[in-house]
Chains A and B, each alone.
Chain A
Amino acid sequence: MSLLDSAVTGAPLERREGLLRGYLPVVLAVLVLGLVPPLAGGSRYLVSVATLLVVLVTYGVAFNVVFGGTGQLLLCIGALAAVAAYTSALLSGELGWPLAITLPLGVALATTGGAALSWLAVRRRLDTIFVGVVTLTASLVVHNLLLGRRELTGGETGLVVQAGSGTALRDPVLGYYAVLALLAVGLAGHRAIQRSALGWAFRAIRDDAEAAALAGIDVARTKVLAAAVASALAGAAGSLYAHVEGFVSPTTFAFATVDVRVIVAVAFGGLGTLLGPVVGGVVVTLLDEVLRPLGQLRLAVYGAVLLVLFLAVPRGAVPAVGWSWHRATARWRGRGTSPAGGR
Chain B
Amino acid sequence: MLEVRDLHAGYGELAVLHGVDLSVGVGEVVALIGANGAGKTTLLRCVAGLHRPSAGALTFDGAPLAARSAAAIARAGLRLVPSDRRLFPQLTVRENLLLGAHPRRVASADLRRVTALFPRLAERWGQRAGTLSGGEQQMVAVGRALVGRPRLLVLDEPTTGLAPPLAAELYAALASLRTETGITVLVAEQQLPRVLAMAERGIVLERGRVRHRGSSTELADDPAVRRAYLGVG
With CB as the reference atom, state the residue of chain B lying closest to A13.
Answer: B95
How far does the alpha carbon of A200 sit from the alpha carbon of B69 in the complex, in Å? 19
A13-B98, A204-B102, A214-B86 given; A341·B75 CB < 8 A: no
A294 interface contact, C-beta 8 A: no
Q: Which residues of B contact A216 (CB under 8 A)?
A: 71, 74-75, 100-102, 148
Do A215 and B90 touch (CB < 8 A)?
no
Interface segment among A177-185, A217-225, A257-265, A321-329: the answer is: A217-225
Do A203 and B91 touch (CB < 8 A)?
yes
B25 interface contact, C-beta 8 A: no
Q: Which residues of B contact A340 (CB under 8 A)?
A: 126-128
B79 interface contact, C-beta 8 A: yes
Within 8 A of A (CB), among B201-219: none
How far does the alpha carbon of A95 sit from the alpha carbon of B40 in the complex, in Å? 64
A53 interface contact, C-beta 8 A: no
Number of A-B contacts (CB under 8 A): 79
Give the Cβ gap from A314 to chain B, nearest Cβ, in Å: 16
Do A214 and B70 touch (CB < 8 A)?
yes
Interface segment among A69-77, A148-156, A205-213, A236-244: the answer is: A205-213
A208-B89, A213-B50 given; A341·B128 CB < 8 A: yes
Within 8 A of A (CB), among B90-144: 90-92, 95, 98-103, 126-128, 144
B72 interface contact, C-beta 8 A: yes
Give the Cβ gap from B135 to chain A, nearest Cβ, in Å: 18
A174 interface contact, C-beta 8 A: no
Do A343 and B74 touch (CB < 8 A)?
no
B82 interface contact, C-beta 8 A: yes
How far does the alpha carbon of A14 sit from the alpha carbon of B90 in the complex, in Å? 16
B88 interface contact, C-beta 8 A: yes
Do A204 and B71 touch (CB < 8 A)?
no
Do B69 and A215 touch (CB < 8 A)?
no
With CB as the reference atom, state the residue of chain A lying closest to B74.
Answer: A216
With CB as the reference atom, state the residue of chain A lying closest to B75.
Answer: A216
Give the Cβ gap from A293 to chain B, nearest Cβ, in Å: 43
B170 interface contact, C-beta 8 A: no
A13-B95, A13-B98, A197-B103 given; A218·B72 CB < 8 A: yes
B155 interface contact, C-beta 8 A: no
Q: Considering only CB atoms and an 8 Å cut-off, how many residues of chain B contact the other chain? A: 31
A216-B71, A216-B74, A341-B126 given; A211·B102 CB < 8 A: no
With CB as the reference atom, state the residue of chain B lying closest to A207.
Answer: B88
Do B69 and A213 touch (CB < 8 A)?
yes
Do B69 and A218 touch (CB < 8 A)?
yes
Do A213 and B98 touch (CB < 8 A)?
no
A214-B70, A216-B102, A218-B72 given; A208·B86 CB < 8 A: yes
Give the Cβ gap from B232 to chain A, nearest Cβ, in Å: 36
0 or 1 for each of B35-51: is its CB under 8 Å from A? (1 = yes): 00000000000001110
Q: Which residues of B contact A210 (CB under 8 A)?
A: 50, 70, 86
Do B92 and A217 touch (CB < 8 A)?
no
Give the Cβ gap from B186 to chain A, nearest Cβ, in Å: 15
A201 interface contact, C-beta 8 A: yes
With CB as the reference atom, state the residue of chain A lying closest to B101.
Answer: A216
B87 interface contact, C-beta 8 A: yes
How far does the alpha carbon of A217 sit from the alpha carbon of B73 in the complex, in Å? 10
B80 interface contact, C-beta 8 A: yes
A208-B86, A210-B86, A340-B127 given; A215·B100 CB < 8 A: yes
Give the Cβ gap from B197 to chain A, nearest Cβ, in Å: 27
Q: Which residues of B contact A218 (CB under 8 A)?
A: 69, 71-72
Q: Which residues of B contact A341 (CB under 8 A)?
A: 92, 126, 128
How far does the alpha carbon of A61 sit from the alpha carbon of B48 in the complex, in Å? 36
Do B102 and A197 touch (CB < 8 A)?
yes
Q: Which residues of A contact B79 (CB under 8 A)?
A: 214
Q: Which residues of A contact B86 (CB under 8 A)?
A: 208, 210-211, 214
Do B74 and A207 touch (CB < 8 A)?
no
Q: Which residues of B contact A220 (CB under 8 A)?
A: 69
How far does the alpha carbon of A197 sit from the alpha carbon of B106 in the complex, in Å? 12
Contact of B102 among A14, A201, A208 (CB under 8 A): A201
Q: Which residues of A contact B148 (CB under 8 A)?
A: 215-216
Q: Which residues of A contact B127 (CB under 8 A)?
A: 340
Q: Which residues of B contact A13 (CB under 8 A)?
A: 95, 98
With CB as the reference atom, state the residue of chain A lying closest to B76.
Answer: A216
How far does the alpha carbon of A215 sit from the alpha carbon of B88 in the complex, in Å? 10
Do A215 and B126 touch (CB < 8 A)?
no
Do A217 and B95 touch (CB < 8 A)?
no
How far does the alpha carbon of A207 sit from the alpha carbon of B102 in the complex, in Å? 15
Do B99 and A213 touch (CB < 8 A)?
no
Q: Which residues of A contact B72 (CB under 8 A)?
A: 218
Contact of B74 among A197, A201, A214 (CB under 8 A): A214
Can you sample 9 A-B contacts with CB below 8 Å?
Answer: A201-B102, A201-B103, A214-B48, A214-B79, A215-B144, A215-B148, A216-B101, A218-B69, A341-B128
Return the 9 tightest CB-CB contacts between A and B, nearest first. A211-B86, A216-B74, A213-B70, A207-B88, A197-B103, A216-B75, A218-B71, A213-B71, A207-B90
Residues of A within 8 A of B (CB): 13-14, 197, 200-201, 203-204, 207-208, 210-220, 340-341, 343
Extra pairs beyond A203-B90, A215-B74 (15, CB < 8 Å): A197-B103, A201-B102, A212-B88, A213-B50, A213-B71, A213-B74, A214-B50, A214-B79, A214-B80, A214-B86, A215-B100, A215-B102, A217-B71, A218-B71, A340-B126
